[in-house]
Amino acid sequence: MGLISSILLLPLAPVKGVLWLGEVIQDQVEQTLHDPATIRRELEEIDEAAAAGRLSEDEKEKAQQAVLDRMIRPGGGTTPAGGSENL
């Protein structure tokens, strides 16, 4: 980049910094969500809640499936409303 283009783009530096920071935060969140230890801890919490009677069997299965779906799908996407996918 030349000197003139650097001077002209200088006002955009804070925007670029915010975008970069957003990307870093998103990467960290995705790493945390897909961390095997986090997934295991969530599954254990679901089992404990079901054992304590805070979750019905149906709620337990749905919660476990949501955690496993997040682990399997790269984007952590959910199934469309009203439909279920066979894996």
What are 3-62's pLDDT values in tens digits?
888 888 888 889 999 999 999 999 999 888 888 898 999 999 999 999 999 999 999 999
CA–CA dist 51, 19 (Å, integer): 44
For residue 21 the two structure tokens come to 């920071």
pLDDT value at position 51?
A: 94
* Structural domain boundaries in the chain: 42-75
pLDDT value at position 74?
A: 63
pLDDT value at position 58?
A: 94
* CB-count exposure of residue 46 (10 Å: 0-12, 13-18, 19+): buried
CA–CA dist 37, 25 (Å, integer): 19
Average pLDDT over residues 60-74: 87
pTM assigned to the model? 0.56
